[in-house]
Amino acid sequence: MSQDPEQAKKLEALLKMLAISKGDTSKLTQPQRKQFEEYKFWKTQPVSRFDDKVDDEGPINSSQRSEDVPDEPLPLLDEFQWCTVDLTDPEQLDDVFILLNENYVEDQDATFRFNYSREFFNWSLKGPGWRKDWHVGVRTKQSGRLVAFISAVPATLRVRNKLIKSVEINFLCIHKKLRAKRLTPILIKEVTRRVNKQDIWQALYTAGVVLPSPTATCRYAHRPLNWSKLYEVGFTGLPANASKTQMIAKYTLPKETDTAGLRPMEEKDVDKVFELLNKYQSRFDLIQVFTKEEFKHVFLSSKNVVYSYVVENNGIITDFVSFYSLPFTVLNNPNYRELGIGYLFYYASDADFEYPDRFHPEGSSKLRKRLNRLISDVCIKARDLKMDVFNAMSCQDNSLFLDDLKFGPGDGFLNFYLFNYKVRPIAGGLRKDNSFDTEKRSSVGVVML
């Protein structure tokens, strides 16, 4: 690790942004949560308490009617006003990505930033059924500057065996100068009001912070693809007992992919892959159920953001895998302007379909082998696309390959929350000591951006 305090600071911030671990995190625990009563806002909302024993899974409050939902938002302080951000207008789209690029993560020195692109927002916020008024903003009255944002997109969820008409909440962001002023509760209430108006009463959201009460907790994992670049920009250190050559060798991937029949997914594959993904997803307890139209949007509409592949041999598609790109801009570095970051997204494989029990040892071993090869291959694809790190979570069946493929456990956790829905805990792919649970794996099948 670099001794230069500036470099050390940069490293610290990058690791935080990536939720990457610096060392042994086997004893890592989530940030201390408050007592339920101390959550001044969340204790007023229809969410589970930490100690709730859930017998019947379902809505917490099911008596509301959209006719009774107020027509007007809550008032804001005098200098601010509510707005609907129209993402079809390039200027307003720019407002969102400037706000997020500059404020979405904490980096006091502004050494690097998430480099959200217009295409990324078009992809993630304008899927089938999107509504303009669910892109909620707050602007200053004087300059019209966008200072806060929150979004909802429609999603049908399946929680165990129940289908729920829902939304996914994402991109909550408040300008750094307006933090700790209790604007978050007002934004959440406003997006809730707008969603309730459409007779939707449930939401899925994720956060690194602990709120009442996580349905599942997953952990980040990362795999260096270009170790020497990460080292050169001072973002990764050299372990005391290793040489650069050893580290490069450790993370060097094969030149070519290994899976026969691996190729980019095309429009003509949609029916088959849709069926394969649905069948694969049926093993999980928390998933998003895509319509075919949504499926096409999510996996095929945005060529520079999401990359989808299939494995086809003799006309049969046996596997599907996808990842998305969300790079960092590196500021003030003479050699590098960007860090490429890939995120594992949805995948599916028929490797264990002959075993009705997901945990059958033979089925698990076949799946492990298949996924190891497939995910190693997408790491190669990501490397060839100039990505420098590949991230994944402990959700889905990922624990089967994370350790094998040299994904390092991250420092950060991602909690999954359901609004107005009580549910028994869902496995996040972690053992008690927070290592990746290769046996039980995760029952979270949804991947949130």
Ligand X SMILES: CC(C)(COP(=O)(O)OP(=O)(O)OC[C@H]1O[C@@H](n2cnc3c(N)ncnc32)[C@H](O)[C@@H]1OP(=O)(O)O)[C@@H](O)C(=O)NCCC(=O)NCCS
Site residues for ligand X, 337-366, by CB under 6 A, read none
**Which helix (DSSP H) or strand (DSSP E) does residue 184 occupy?**
helix 183-196
Identify the sign of the CA torsion 424, 426, 432, 437: positive
DSSP string of 244-307, one letter each residue = HHHHHHHHPPPSS---TTEEE--GGGHHHHHHHHHHHHTT-SEEEE--HHHHHHHHHS-TTTEE
* 42 scored as a contact of ligand X (CB under 6 A): yes
* Closest distance to ligand X from the beta carbon of 355 (Å): 37
Give the whole-angstrom CA distance, residue 449 versus residue 122: 13
Question: What are the strands of the beta sheet with 112-114, ordered from one edge?
Answer: 112-114, 328-330, 338-339
Nearer to ligand X, 346 or 416 (CB): 416
Out of 157, 183, 378, 447, the residue judged to bind ligand X by CB under 6 A: 183
* Closest distance to ligand X from the beta carbon of 210 (Å): 9
Residues counted in the chain: 449
* 37 scored as a contact of ligand X (CB under 6 A): no
* 104 scored as a contact of ligand X (CB under 6 A): yes
Nearer to ligand X, 47 or 253 (CB): 47
Out of 17, 18, 39, 139, the residue judged to bind ligand X by CB under 6 A: 39
* Closest distance to ligand X from the beta carbon of 418 (Å): 13
Nearer to ligand X, 86 or 102 (CB): 102
* Closest distance to ligand X from the beta carbon of 282 (Å): 28
Site residues for ligand X, 244-303, by CB under 6 A, read none
The DSSP letter of residue 418 is E
> Binding segment for ligand X among 9-17, 35-43, 327-335, 423-431 (CB under 6 A)?
35-43
x/- site string to ligand X, residues 61 to 100, per CB under 6 A? ----------------------------------------
The footprint of ligand X on this chain (CB under 6 A) covers a number of residues equal to: 19
Nearer to ligand X, 173 or 378 (CB): 173
Nearer to ligand X, 211 or 248 (CB): 211
* 179 scored as a contact of ligand X (CB under 6 A): yes
Nearest to 59 by CA among 426, 349, 422, 405: 422
> Binding segment for ligand X among 36-44, 54-62, 261-269, 385-393 (CB under 6 A)?
36-44
> Binding segment for ligand X among 6-14, 70-78, 168-176, 359-367 (CB under 6 A)?
168-176
> Binding segment for ligand X among 14-22, 74-82, 167-175, 230-238 (CB under 6 A)?
167-175
Out of 209, 256, 267, 356, the residue judged to bind ligand X by CB under 6 A: 209
Cα separations in angstroms, 320 against 121, 137, 273, 294: 24, 37, 7, 16
Query: Which two three-digit tokens encode residue 148?
Result: 């806060």
The DSSP letter of residue 444 is B
* DSSP-derived pairing of the beta strands 306-313 and 328-330: unpaired
Q: What angle do CA 387, 276, 390 make, to 5 degrees?
A: 15
Q: In a 3-state reduction of DSSP, which class is residue 42?
A: helix
Catalytic residues: 449
- Is residue 104 packed enough to be buried (19+ CB in 10 Å), middle (13-18) or exposed (0-12)? middle
Nearer to ligand X, 180 or 260 (CB): 180
Distance from the Cα of residue 302 to its chain's centroid:
17
* 40 scored as a contact of ligand X (CB under 6 A): yes
> Binding segment for ligand X among 40-48, 132-140, 220-228, 235-243 (CB under 6 A)?
40-48
Give the whole-angstrom CA distance, residue 255 versus residue 234: 26
* 207 scored as a contact of ligand X (CB under 6 A): yes
Cβ contacts of 114 within 8 Å, gap of 6 or more: 17, 100, 101, 104, 105, 326, 327, 328, 329
Positions that interact with ligand X (CB under 6 A): 39-42, 103-104, 172-174, 179-185, 207, 209, 211
